[in-house]
Structure 1
């Protein structure tokens, strides 16, 4: 069967704002340091996404952002368990797991329970739950390789998988993150940058509706830096959503359907 939505990697970096003097971050000792992968501070990794990655699922998607590789499978809507109370709206279950070889140090991964709860919170507001009463949609995300900014990739990939499954959505959900390194804001950080960051921000939003479904902030931030980071993330989310829609359009085109 021909793969659906297998487009070439695309970029979704936010528009560059007026650049200020770049100062040294604690990650490096050199005066004019560069990022480990050579990107600019506001440059995101190339994004490759495709749908129909798992044949046995109702919908699925695969995402590859640099070295971060994620697979999401969606099952349902299917009848809720009898032990659950009656509900006139649908239910959403989310589970995030890592392969044993996802990181260089086996077993050293992020808290899966926290990621599962955050994925649920990010997606729930985008789903028209009234469209499948008394039933449940299960979302299973598997991180095959952890290369940094894992949760934003998981969330974006999961939203694409929900759309592939035909779940009614208010809008696609896109997510982006930024790290605060010294005096610099670094978009779409990799693992090494995350380990040195002084603070982080992740935004999850529905770009077409201009609505934020989740915002997380860690570390000490000044108000101007918060505003700058939010603008960068929202711009990146808007451009990532265009890539996601393009992926869905290619998956639905006649040339992608097996004859």
Structure 2
């Protein structure tokens, strides 16, 4: 039976900050608007996970955050064609692609090389590569529907799929992003918010070890703003990881204690 987070989406918003956040976003041009789904600035979308989504894979997971829907399949470890180059440690291969119906622009489905590279970077530090020498683990992520914050959802889902496959890891990997809209930081942005953002910050970490595996920042950010964004994301990642652990079947045997 596939494991899932209680059968219903679970919330994982970070702890409230001292400053009261409102749904109303004040833009620099004084145009007032609210988040399209009515959330507070620091309120994440409900997260739903399910493991064992692809029977033919060694491990798999499905994730649904609002309108963002992702499925990840893990294959291997299998004998690597580059075994001589990777004699002491295993090799991780990541691929992120979009279905042709994932976005409003029909027929735009394709491989996403930048996301594939970023997924590899986010996961590599958490996997115990020495546990499968001379072999390769393939991670295939497919975005079924693009609803915003696609890459963080892909990364979190891929981590869960790896654990489902029994791949040895130091810890699960959780990822959350924030968008800078005027003077406000908005967590887990949807597509519309991403299209209006002045900048974005995506943080990926191993919550139990409090280690960041990837930090990506776009736009102009002040140091205090970066620190605030990172803290918001770290807090949310810790709570997201709790939901992910609940989804796993049985004890976390694939995770190093």
Give the structure-1-normalised TM-score: 0.91
Aligned length: 248
**Secondary structure at the counterpart of residue 231 of structure 1:** helix
Assess if the C-alpha contact under 8 Å between 1:182 and 1:198 holds in 2. yes
Assess if the C-alpha contact under 8 Å between 1:6 and 1:51 holds in 2. no
Is the aligned partner of 1:59 residue 2:59?
A: yes
Q: Which residue of 2 aligns with 1:37?
A: 37
Larger RCO (CA within 8 A; separation ≥ 6): 1
Q: 1:111 to 1:24 in 2, by over 3 A?
A: farther
The alpha-carbon deviation at position 224 of structure 1 amounts to 1.3
The alpha-carbon deviation at position 86 of structure 1 amounts to 4.4
Is the aligned partner of 1:118 residue 2:129?
A: no
Q: 1:136 to 1:224 in 2, by over 3 A?
A: same
Is the aligned partner of 1:207 residue 2:224?
A: no
Output aligned runs, 1:166-181, within 5 Å: 166-181=166-181
Aligned mates of 1:111, 1:141 — CA distance in 2? 10
Q: 1:109 to 1:233 in 2, by over 3 A?
A: farther
Q: Which residue of 2 aligns with 1:4?
A: 3
Q: Which 10-residue stretch deviates more, 150-159 or 73-82? A: 73-82
Q: Which residue of 1 aligns with 2:149?
A: 149
Output aligned runs, 1:15-164, within 5 Å: 15-19=15-19, 24-25=26-27, 29-30=31-32, 33-81=33-81, 85-108=85-108, 112-164=112-164
Q: 1:60 to 1:24 in 2, by over 3 A?
A: same
Q: Deviations over 1:18-56 (max 9, x none)?
A: 1167661269833xx310010000000000001000000
Q: Deviations over 1:85-120 (max 9, x none)?
A: 342100000000000000011245797000000000
Q: Which residue of 2 aligns with 1:257?
A: none
Give the structure-2-normalised TM-score: 0.91
Assess if the C-alpha contact under 8 Å between 1:14 and 1:236 holds in 2. yes
Q: 1:204 to 1:82 in 2, by over 3 A?
A: closer
The alpha-carbon deviation at position 241 of structure 1 amounts to 0.4
Q: 1:95 to 1:111 in 2, by over 3 A?
A: closer
Aligned mates of 2:101, 2:125 — CA distance in 1? 32
Assess if the C-alpha contact under 8 Å between 1:27 and 1:196 holds in 2. no
Aligned mates of 1:27, 1:155 — CA distance in 2? 34
User: Following TM superposition, where does structure 1 have runs of at least 4 consecutive aligned residues deviating by more than 4 angstroms?
Assistant: 20-23, 107-111
Q: 1:243 to 1:86 in 2, by over 3 A?
A: closer
The alpha-carbon deviation at position 81 of structure 1 amounts to 1.3
